[in-house]
Amino acid sequence: MTGAARALAAAIALVAVALVVAVTGVDAHARLAQATPAVGEVLSASPAAVRLTFTQEIQKISGTYGIDVINEAGQDVAAGDAVLDETDRSIMTVALPPGLPAGRYVVQYKNVSDVDGDPWEGAFAFYVGRQPTDAERALDEELAAQEEEEPTPTIAATPGDTPTAASAATATPSQPDDDDDTGGDLLVFVVVGAILLVAVLVVAGFIAFSRSRPAA
């Protein structure tokens, strides 16, 4: 393999690494990957806990992670604070009291990615002892859309609640500042651009050097 060919191979490897860094850095939020109860699930009996699995491990810093389970009256029915799995910090669990009455329950969660410190929040609903109404399904779709589009997640109140209960059941957690996310993404692209520039210069230098060498 000639020097130019080796340089080209090295440049390709650098580009591949840069692309991996870019993809990882841009979507560094610890998003919801799996939930028990599942999103929109209808249960015949009250669950013992809510267990969430995220796409990345999250930081174990008090106040930066948690789960609230909101009933139709706007009350948090979680039995204590959320707990991270010590062997896999992508898993967060909160216990529930036994015998939850039939109804709609909205799970609101927050975390901070252990990859780069990006915060994330989201919400979804599950049901105990009854099927959701059409209006509740529409609210659930809104929560799902918020998860995909990265707006400020909002716990939607169950239709028919009194104004007081509805206001209590509607929470608007603060979403990370867009400027912070933009700054982090910009840094990623600057790094990637620098790597690509170095790769191009290396290839150009080796090609120029190989062409300037006298033939044997």
What distance in Å separates the CA atoms of residue 147 and residue 128, rounded to the nearest whole number?
23
Calculate Rg over the CA atoms of the chain. 25
Please, what CATH class does the domain formed by 31-175 belong to? Answer: mainly beta
Question: What pLDDT, on a 0 to 100 scale, did the predictor assign at position 88?
Answer: 96
Instruction: Please state the rounded mean pLDDT for residues 24-44.
Output: 86
Q: Are 32 and 107 in contact (CB under 8 A)?
A: no
Instruction: Please state the rounded mean pLDDT for residues 190-195.
Output: 62
Question: What pLDDT, on a 0 to 100 scale, did the predictor assign at position 146?
Answer: 84
Closest CA to 121 of 52, 186, 209: 52
Question: What pLDDT, on a 0 to 100 scale, did the predictor assign at position 183?
Answer: 47
Question: What pLDDT, on a 0 to 100 scale, did the predictor assign at position 54?
Answer: 96
Instruction: Inform me whether the pLDDT recorded for 173 exceeds 90.
Output: no
Instruction: Please state the rounded mean pLDDT for residues 2-7.
Output: 59
Which of 113-117, 134-138, 151-155, 167-171 holds the top average pLDDT?
A: 134-138
Question: What pLDDT, on a 0 to 100 scale, did the predictor assign at position 29?
Answer: 87
Q: What phi and psi values does residue 96 have, to the nearest 5 degrees?
A: -120, 150
Instruction: Please state the rounded mean pLDDT for residues 37-42.
Output: 97
Question: What pLDDT, on a 0 to 100 scale, did the predictor assign at position 116?
Answer: 86
Instruction: Inform me whether the pLDDT recorded for 86 exceeds 90.
Output: yes
What distance in Å separates the CA atoms of residue 69 and residue 126, rounded to the nearest whole number?
10
Band (pLDDT 50/70/90 cuts) for residue 15 is low
Question: What pLDDT, on a 0 to 100 scale, did the predictor assign at position 93?
Answer: 98
Question: What pLDDT, on a 0 to 100 scale, did the predictor assign at position 181?
Answer: 47
